Amino acid sequence: MKMNWELEKVFMPLVQITMLAGRTADQKRMIAKRVTDALVEEAGARREAIVVAFHEVSKESYASGGELMIDKAPAK
Protein backbone atom coordinates (compact mmCIF):
# COMPACT_ATOMS: atom_id res chain seq x y z
CA MET A 1 0.00 0.00 0.00
CA LYS A 2 2.87 2.39 0.59
CA MET A 3 3.60 2.51 -3.14
CA ASN A 4 0.01 3.49 -3.96
CA TRP A 5 0.16 6.33 -1.45
CA GLU A 6 3.44 7.54 -2.90
CA LEU A 7 2.01 7.47 -6.43
CA GLU A 8 -1.02 9.38 -5.20
CA LYS A 9 1.22 12.08 -3.74
CA VAL A 10 3.03 12.45 -7.06
CA PHE A 11 0.13 12.26 -9.53
CA MET A 12 -2.93 13.55 -7.69
CA PRO A 13 -5.22 15.17 -8.35
CA LEU A 14 -5.73 14.15 -11.97
CA VAL A 15 -8.25 16.25 -13.91
CA GLN A 16 -9.44 14.91 -17.25
CA ILE A 17 -11.14 17.34 -19.60
CA THR A 18 -13.03 15.95 -22.58
CA MET A 19 -13.99 18.52 -25.19
CA LEU A 20 -14.51 18.95 -28.88
CA ALA A 21 -11.30 19.28 -30.86
CA GLY A 22 -10.30 22.71 -32.07
CA ARG A 23 -8.92 24.65 -29.10
CA THR A 24 -5.52 26.23 -29.55
CA ALA A 25 -2.49 25.38 -27.41
CA ASP A 26 -2.81 28.83 -25.83
CA GLN A 27 -6.42 28.16 -24.86
CA LYS A 28 -5.47 24.81 -23.31
CA ARG A 29 -2.58 26.44 -21.44
CA MET A 30 -5.00 28.95 -19.89
CA ILE A 31 -7.53 26.23 -19.01
CA ALA A 32 -4.81 24.12 -17.38
CA LYS A 33 -3.54 27.13 -15.43
CA ARG A 34 -6.99 28.10 -14.17
CA VAL A 35 -7.93 24.53 -13.18
CA THR A 36 -4.59 24.15 -11.40
CA ASP A 37 -4.99 27.49 -9.62
CA ALA A 38 -8.48 26.48 -8.43
CA LEU A 39 -7.23 23.18 -7.00
CA VAL A 40 -4.35 24.88 -5.23
CA GLU A 41 -6.59 27.58 -3.76
CA GLU A 42 -9.72 25.58 -2.95
CA ALA A 43 -8.41 22.06 -2.25
CA GLY A 44 -4.94 22.79 -0.94
CA ALA A 45 -3.37 20.59 -3.63
CA ARG A 46 0.31 20.93 -4.39
CA ARG A 47 0.72 22.70 -7.75
CA GLU A 48 3.46 20.34 -8.92
CA ALA A 49 1.27 17.28 -8.23
CA ILE A 50 -1.73 18.42 -10.29
CA VAL A 51 -2.13 16.78 -13.68
CA VAL A 52 -4.56 18.12 -16.30
CA ALA A 53 -5.19 15.85 -19.29
CA PHE A 54 -7.07 17.00 -22.36
CA HIS A 55 -9.03 14.46 -24.40
CA GLU A 56 -10.17 15.99 -27.65
CA VAL A 57 -12.90 14.31 -29.65
CA SER A 58 -14.31 15.00 -33.08
CA LYS A 59 -17.89 16.11 -33.68
CA GLU A 60 -18.48 12.66 -35.17
CA SER A 61 -17.47 11.05 -31.86
CA TYR A 62 -19.34 13.30 -29.39
CA ALA A 63 -23.07 13.28 -28.73
CA SER A 64 -25.23 15.48 -26.54
CA GLY A 65 -28.91 14.83 -25.91
CA GLY A 66 -28.67 11.68 -28.02
CA GLU A 67 -27.54 13.59 -31.11
CA LEU A 68 -24.06 13.70 -32.63
CA MET A 69 -22.56 17.16 -32.51
CA ILE A 70 -21.95 17.05 -36.26
CA ASP A 71 -25.73 16.76 -36.76
CA LYS A 72 -26.64 19.70 -34.52
CA ALA A 73 -27.36 23.15 -35.88
CA PRO A 74 -24.69 25.74 -35.01
CA ALA A 75 -25.42 27.75 -31.87
CA LYS A 76 -26.79 31.23 -32.55
- 13 given a catalytic annotation: yes
CB 50 within 8 A of CB 17: no
- Extended strands (E) in the chain: 14-20, 51-57, 63-64, 67-68
**From 6, 7, 8, 13, active-site residue:** 13
CB 43 within 8 A of CB 19: no
Catalytic (active-site) positions: 13
